[in-house]
Amino acid sequence: MTALTMSARPEEDASPRPVPWRRMAWVAWRQHRIALADVAALLGALVVYLWLAGLQVHHAYAAATACHPASSLACQNTIFNFENTYAPTAYTVATLLQVVPRSPELLEECWSPSDAFV
């Protein structure tokens, strides 16, 4: 080895200096504030969309369940319209809720070399 090593002198304090957390927090905020604002705006837009879509589904469901007698032609048409309007979205959301938690596994499987054909 070409480097010389020396032991620390016991009289000197060899502990690390304290981290200035306030300055570190300020630096982190300055670096990431645009990204945090973008995420907040995206989540806010998602909340507004889900709120408006939820109100539409709520009113359509209330109309479908309040219709009496349920065997009448008008009620059957209301229920049929409700199912045709909102069932595809419900199936898509249910599928995404099953796929999204597994997406890291799927991405790893697609982009890493597989040993299946070795």
Those residues of the chain that have pLDDT short of 50 are 118
Least Cα distance to 54 among 79, 89, 78, 80 occurs for: 89
Least Cα distance to 56 among 67, 64, 46 occurs for: 64
* 47-72 tens-digit pLDDT: 999 999 999 999 999 999 999 998 99
Domain boundaries, the chain: 22-108
Q: Is the pTM of this model over 0.85?
A: no
DSSP string of 1-29, one letter each residue: --S---PPPTTS--SPPPP-HHHHHHHHH
- The answer to whether 67 and 74 have CB atoms below 8 angstroms apart is yes
